Amino acid sequence: MKFSSKIFNSHSKKDGDFFVGMKRILGFKPKKIHIYKKAFLHRSANVKDSEGIPMNYERLEFLGDSMLGTIISKYLYIEVPEGDEGYLTKMRSKIVSREHLNELGKDLELIKFVESRIPKSHFGDNIHGNVFEALVGAIYLDRGYKYCEIFIYNKVVKPYVDIEQLEGKVISYKSLIIEWCQKQKKTFHYNVYEDTGNDTLKHFAVKLSIADTVVAKARATSKKKAEERASKRAYFALQDKMD
């Protein structure tokens, strides 16, 4: 396929720097460098191929997410032979959590390769995890499953995965609260509303009630974050009972 953008056609010093940067991160030479460039192409760059189809990292992100889940599942299946389906699913979720992927992307400094018309300072944390998954997708298309597996082992499993530590890691305080309330047959309710404060960004506030008693309050820039923050506060307030 011929690409209409100079991003994919040029052979500048910038291209050479990109190749060297990718080789350093990957631990091997990329063959089809244009695939890796697409892994860092934000939709705001408004790049299209010769057929007028928009190009960005989102399709590679979808592919990388699947590859990451498959390879981590295989690793856990081998490493924890006594783990049942529920245990393996929870452990995989902890390893490939959005928080963890964002951390991986930051550690590899992937954002410096992103092509965008939006200032990088305006991106949220998820950009780091998104391009990490897109990079995994690019590796699979360029070099196949084995190289993908080696990369994930070297960059994810070896430096970050400790089974014992992961067993005690909480990935969703809201899930813990809901599960506990259901077991204890207690009613619960998240009352979320828009918070009209003096902040530049819109905020949402939440009151978490259990058995008709407000046990925690929180606010954040999204409903989901506000609920999770309130759940975390509720968890620590009720920890003795929940344990």
Q: Residue 39: which residues within 8 A CB-CB, separation 6 or more?
A: 57, 60, 131, 134, 135, 137, 138
> Is 65 noted as a catalytic residue in this protein?
yes
Q: How far apart are CA 67 and CA 155, in angstroms?
A: 14
Marked catalytic residue, from 61, 65, 227, 228: 65
Q: What share of the chain is helix, strand, coil (3-state, %, to 5)?
A: 60, 15, 25
> Is 199 noted as a catalytic residue in this protein?
no
Residue whose token pair is 């399709």: 59
What number of other Cβ atoms are within 10 A of residue 206's Cβ? 23
Marked catalytic residue, from 133, 149, 227, 228: 133
What number of other Cβ atoms are within 10 A of residue 62's Cβ? 12
Q: Residue 35: which residues within 8 A CB-CB, separation 6 or more?
A: 60, 138, 141, 142
Residue whose token pair is 């606010």: 219
List residues with catalytic annotation.
65, 133
